[in-house]
């Protein structure tokens, strides 16, 4: 793990920088990196405070599990200290409930920014909110002991932390529905076969695989990587003709830069 001083460390989240790489660590291994609104606010702050020099963000969870999901204290009548309980949200006005959930989602939405490539290093359990946080990243390097599961439906809830779209993109509608509706575990072999995992390695090799991938990403010019990421993201939703035009415009900018004619 990086030894640099923490730029941010609070509420179960630590941010350190190593040149063009930001390391974001869920650092509450005793609770298997269970998530809470405070942790989500800290993750959202990370996204807002990253220096412009950062090109790659690596997300990890300390200990044997990446993240066991939402802290079960959320389901108690009292909830978390200083936070509205889920029961309070249920009983309150719809506008307040929507605003609260939108705030939670901010922890999950910045990972696909076009100026960054984000990697989740996933070992052990990645359950519910933990699964969705891994899905928020562009790439997932997984240990061979990984266990993904989307347990919200079995609790009478739905995945609401932005995980539904990337899950469908990766594995298709039918499999995504089956994974969510049953809440079953997805193990390493299936994760690799279906595209949930970019690569699966022995647990002892996880850090080395992440370092190798990070180095490979940094080897290409930043502007070209950012333009390519933006094109691939737009390809998911745009009409073909609009995508063709976006490719032409992006390549024009690249050619101008290579010719020394860029801004």
Are 154 and 232 found together in one domain?
Answer: no
Residues 145 and 244 in one domain: no
CA distance 162 to 174: 18
Is residue 52 situated within a structural domain?
yes
From 183, 152, 145, 185, select the one nearest 70 (Cα to Cα).
152
- Examine the domain organization and report whether 232 and 134 are in the same domain: no
Do 129 and 90 sit in the same domain of this protein? yes
The number of folded domains in the chain is 2
Please list, in sequence order, all residues whose beta carbon lies within 8 angstroms of the beta carbon of residue 224, skipping any fewer than 6 positions away. 254
Same domain for 112 and 187, yes or no, is yes
Which residue from 149, 142, 147 is spatially nearest to 197, judged by alpha carbons? 142
CA–CA separation, 229 vs 247, rounded Å? 11
120 with 245, same domain: the answer is no
pLDDT at 193 over 90: yes
Q: Which of 20, 198, 207, 49 is nearest to 116 (CA)?
A: 20
Evaluate whether residue 230 is within a structural domain: yes
Same domain, 125 and 167: yes
Assess whether 124 and 207 both reside in one domain: yes
Residues 181 and 231 in one domain: no
| Partners of residue 10 on adjacent β-strands | 13
219-261 confidence digits (pLDDT tens):
999 999 999 999 999 988 877 788 787 778 877 787 788 778 8
Q: Rounded to a whole number, what is the largest CA-CA distance in the chain?
A: 63
Residue 263 maps to a domain: no
Same domain, 150 and 199: yes
In a shared domain, residues 63 and 192: yes
d(CA 4, CA 153): 40
Q: What is the pLDDT of residues 117-150, one digit of tens each?
A: 999 999 999 999 999 999 999 999 999 999 999 9
C-alpha count within 13 angstroms, C-beta hemisphere, residue 124: 14
């Amino acid at each position: 793990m990086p030894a640099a001083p923490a730029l941010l460390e609070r509420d179960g989240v630590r941010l350190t920088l190593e040149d063009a790489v930001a390391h974001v660590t869920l650092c509450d291994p005793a609770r298997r990196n269970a998530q809470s609104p405070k942790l989500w606010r800290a993750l959202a702050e990370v996204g807002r405070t990253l220096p412009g020099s950062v090109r790659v963000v690596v997300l990890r969870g300390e200990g044997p599990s990446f993240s066991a999901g939402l802290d079960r204290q959320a389901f108690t009548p009292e909830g978390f200290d200083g936070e509205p309980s889920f029961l309070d949200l249920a009983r309150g006005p719809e506008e307040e409930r929507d605003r609260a959930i939108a705030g939670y989602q901010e922890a999950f939405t910045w990972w696909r920014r076009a100026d960054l490539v984000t990697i989740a290093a996933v070992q052990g359990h990645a359950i519910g909110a933990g699964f969705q946080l891994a899905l928020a990243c562009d790439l997932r390097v997984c240990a061979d002991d990984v266990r993904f599961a989307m347990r919200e439906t079995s609790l009478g809830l739905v995945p609401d932390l932005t995980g539904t779209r990337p899950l469908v993109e990766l594995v298709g509608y039918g499999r995504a529905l089956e994974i969510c509706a049953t809440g079953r575990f997805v193990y390493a072999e299936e994760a690799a076969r279906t595209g949930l995992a970019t690569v699966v390695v022995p647990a002892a090799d996880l850090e080395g695989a992440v370092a190798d991938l990070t180095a490979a990403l940094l080897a290409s010019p930043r502007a070209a990587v950012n333009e390519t990421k933006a094109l691939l993201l737009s390809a998911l939703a745009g009409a073909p003709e609009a995508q063709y035009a976006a490719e032409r415009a992006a390549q024009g900018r690249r050619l101008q830069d290579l010719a020394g004619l860029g801004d």
